[in-house]
């Protein structure tokens, strides 16, 4: 370990921080340290302005807003794909901003899962977010398979996955793989490049759920030759509650008809011919289903412009420095009080948040909220701390750890019950 980290040292880092200017663009409550950007990012003035712009067009033009105004709604998601593409390392034609993570999984599986008699299983993992697994199970059921057609890679420590364990499960009966890029609890980053190579060597289609990596670290989906990916935009991308998600589908797959077709997947020049024969768009837009949810898409213009201006590489560099410092502070001050860190320590395997565990985590989280720190709790005993490069400061990391320390040493957590709330 380095020498002890002081609050003054962190203040100096804040003064030198090239991303500090973006903090002023967010609506922050100065009574609160917000460390939950991995569940819901905060509102920025730019995202608010781009939402207001769509509201204004609606006010002025009514139905004509689809073709009139600064950003006609009919082409709105194309513009979002342009802004999104650099964040996933893909061509804009391979990206579509639409749906939600879960509906996009349904679309991608319905499109790319083409089971045969010999090759019909889907490979996932036992640590993924439940919605992904529900979607996979229901897609298998729709094709007439039972739950045993879903293979879930086991974790050895309950927190992380080994690349070799995943590869060992890529057997001849696997048709498709869906894995998270970053595990939502421990924050482990999977080696997407190697996993994709190994899957392709065995003739398996592979895709990733980027919910916990998009806007937090760079991706090279096209260079890695990943087949498909899905993500949400309300976590590290700050698009607002329920903002529309994204999907990537490698250009080599654009020949496939969408498994779930709808009129917004049409070639835009033919869409209003109102024919009953579907004329599929030639790009990832083909996998949209219905009318874009404009009010949930609108904030993304401002949010993505800001992210691209900051650059994802600068965001990743600051994010790693923040979790490095947090790891040191937690090791020094909280590990002696019974906390353990389960996030991988290696940079290449660490995402944007830190996961710490304590037997009293549910009520420690409640005490933290009462003291003005917003983390999130994941049953049974995890606390996620997510310092966000665009709006958190280094000094906040120091204050967070000091406050948690006082909650423990003064036993303030004992005032609360050790059980989770309905939304945790
Ligand atoms: C946040 C998250 C989801 C949420 O899916 P929605 O369809 O946006 O509700 C799904 N999967 C993972 C891995 C997530 O982190």
Distance CA 214, CA 210 (A): 6
Ligand 1 atom with the shortest distance to the CA of 242: 8
CA 332 to chain centre: 30
> Are 358 and 377 within 8 A, CB to CB?
no
Residue pLDDT, tens place only, 275-317: 999 999 999 999 999 999 999 999 999 999 999 999 999 999 9
Binding residues for pyridoxal 5'-phosphate: 101-102, 129-132, 209, 212, 234, 263, 291
Cβ of 243 less than 6 Å from ligand 1: no
Distance CA 107, CA 269 (A): 23
Distance CA 63, CA 58 (A): 7
What is the 3-state composition of the chain as percent helix, strand, coil, each rounded to the nearest 5?
Answer: 45, 15, 40
The SS3 call for residue 205 is: strand
> How remote is the CA of residue 72 from the centroid of ligand 1, in Å?
29
DSSP 8-state assignment for residue 121: E
Encoding tokens for residue 414?
A: 């004992």
Instruction: Output the residue whose Cα is nearest ligand 1's atom 4.
Output: 101
- Interacting residues of 369 by C-beta distance below 8 A, sequence separation 6+: none
Q: Which of 109, 184, 210, when mutated, tests ligand 1's pocket best, judged by the most ligand atoms within 8 Å of its CB?
A: 184
DSSP 8-state assignment for residue 159: S
Residue boundaries of the structural domains of the chain = 7-31+311-413, 48-309
User: What is the full DSSP assignment across 47-85?
Assistant: HHHHHHHHHHHHHHHGGGGGTSSSS-GGGHHHHHHHHHH
Cβ of 212 less than 6 Å from ligand 1: yes
> How remote is the CA of residue 37 from the centroid of ligand 1, in Å?
14
The predicted pLDDT at position 3 comes to 64
Cβ of 132 less than 6 Å from ligand 1: yes
Mark residue 156 as left, alpha or beta (left: phi above 0; alpha: psi -120 to 50; beta: remaining): alpha
Sheet architecture: strand order including 121-125: 95-97, 246-249, 228-231, 205-209, 174-180, 121-125, 150-153
What pTM, to 2 d.p., does this model score? 0.97
Cβ of 41 less than 6 Å from ligand 1: no
> Are 265 and 281 within 8 A, CB to CB?
yes
> Are 363 and 421 within 8 A, CB to CB?
no
Residue pLDDT, tens place only, 38-56: 999 999 999 999 999 999 9
Encoding tokens for residue 265?
A: 């997947």
From the CB of residue 385, how many other CB atoms can be counted at a distance below 10 Å?
28
Cβ of 222 less than 6 Å from ligand 1: no
> Are 191 and 139 within 8 A, CB to CB?
no
Task: List alpha helices for 293-356, DSSP H.
Answer: 294-297, 299-310, 312-333
CATH number of 7-31+311-413: 3.90.1150.10
> How remote is the CA of residue 56 from the centroid of ligand 1, in Å?
30
The predicted pLDDT at position 273 comes to 87
Q: Match 């995943």 to its residue by tokens.
A: 166
- Interacting residues of 72 by C-beta distance below 8 A, sequence separation 6+: 65, 66
- Interacting residues of 262 by C-beta distance below 8 A, sequence separation 6+: 288, 289, 290
Distance CA 232, CA 213 (A): 10
Cβ of 107 less than 6 Å from ligand 1: no
> Are 192 and 66 within 8 A, CB to CB?
no
As beta bridge partners, residue 176 has: 122, 205
Distance CA 95, CA 229 (A): 9
From the CB of residue 293, how many other CB atoms can be counted at a distance below 10 Å?
15
Low-confidence ranges of the chain (pLDDT < 70): 1-3
Ligand 1 atom with the shortest distance to the CA of 104: 7
Distance CA 394, CA 5 (A): 11
The predicted pLDDT at position 1 comes to 45
Task: Tell me if the domain spanning 48-309 has CATH number 3.40.640.10.
Answer: yes
User: What is the full DSSP assignment across 92-120?
Assistant: GGGEEE-S-HHHHHHHHHHHH----SS--
Cis preceding linkage at 108, omega within 30: no
> How remote is the CA of residue 410 from the centroid of ligand 1, in Å?
37
Distance CA 289, CA 126 (A): 30
As beta bridge partners, residue 350 has: 188
CA torsion angle 225 230 232 233 (round to 10): 40
Distance CA 81, CA 285 (A): 9
Instruction: Output the residue whose Cα is nearest ligand 1's atom 14.
Output: 211
Cβ of 184 less than 6 Å from ligand 1: yes
Of 406, 335, 417, residue with least CA distance to 373:
406
Ligand 1 atom with the shortest distance to the CA of 235: 1
> Are 124 and 177 within 8 A, CB to CB?
yes
Distance CA 255, CA 252 (A): 7
Ligand 1 atom with the shortest distance to the CA of 102: 7
> How remote is the CA of residue 16 from the centroid of ligand 1, in Å?
35
Task: List alpha helices for 155-262, DSSP H.
Answer: 163-168, 192-201, 221-224
Q: Which of 104, 211, 245, 300, when mutated, tests ligand 1's pocket best, judged by the most ligand atoms within 8 Å of its CB?
A: 211
């Amino acid at each position: 370990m380095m020498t002890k980290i002081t609050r003054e040292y962190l203040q100096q880092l804040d003064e030198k921080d090239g991303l500090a200017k973006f903090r002023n663009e967010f609506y922050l409550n100065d009574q609160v340290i917000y460390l939950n950007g991995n569940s819901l990012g905060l509102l920025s003035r730019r995202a608010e302005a781009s939402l207001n712009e769509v509201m204004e067009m609606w006010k002025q033009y009514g139905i004509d807003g689809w073709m009139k105004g600064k950003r006609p709604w009919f082409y709105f998601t194309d513009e979002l794909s342009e802004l999104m593409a650099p964040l996933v390392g893909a061509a804009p034609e391979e990206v579509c901003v639409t749906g939600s993570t879960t509906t996009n999984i349904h679309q991608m599986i319905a499109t790319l899962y083409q089971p045969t008699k010999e090759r019909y299983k889907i490979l996932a993992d036992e640590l993924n977010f439940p919605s992904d697994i529900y979607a996979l199970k229901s897609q298998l059921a729709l094709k007439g398979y039972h739950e045993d057609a879903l293979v879930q890679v086991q974790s050895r420590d309950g927190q992380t996955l080994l690349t070799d364990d995943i590869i060992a499960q890529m057997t001849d009966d696997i048709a498709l793989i869906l894995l998270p890029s970053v595990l939502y609890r421990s924050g482990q980053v999977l080696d997407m490049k190697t996993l994709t190579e190994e899957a392709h060597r065995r003739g398996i289609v592979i895709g990733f759920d980027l919910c916990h990596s998009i806007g937090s670290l760079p991706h090279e989906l096209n260079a890695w030759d990943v087949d498909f990916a899905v993500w949400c935009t309300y976590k590290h991308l700050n698009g607002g509650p329920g903002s529309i998600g994204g999907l990537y589908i490698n250009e080599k797959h654009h020949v496939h008809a969408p498994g779930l077709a709808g009129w917004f997947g049409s070639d835009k020049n033919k869409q209003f011919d109102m024919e009953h024969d579907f004329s599929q768009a030639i790009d990832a837009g083909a996998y949209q289903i219905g009318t874009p949810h404009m009010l949930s898409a609108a904030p993304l213009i401002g949010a993505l412009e800001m992210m691209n201006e900051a650059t994802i590489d600068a965001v990743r560099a600051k994010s790693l420095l923040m979790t490095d410092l947090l790891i040191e502070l937690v090791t020094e001050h909280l590990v002696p009080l019974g906390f353990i860190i389960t996030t991988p320590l290696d940079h290449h395997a660490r995402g944007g948040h830190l996961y710490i565990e304590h037997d009293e985590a549910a009520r420690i989280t409640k005490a933290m909220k009462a003291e003005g720190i917003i983390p999130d709790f994941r049953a049974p005993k995890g606390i996620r701390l997510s310092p966000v490069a665009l709006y958190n400061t280094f000094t906040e990391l120091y204050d967070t750890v000091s406050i948690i320390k006082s909650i423990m040493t003064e036993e303030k957590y004992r005032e609360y019950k050790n059980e989770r709330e309905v939304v945790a």
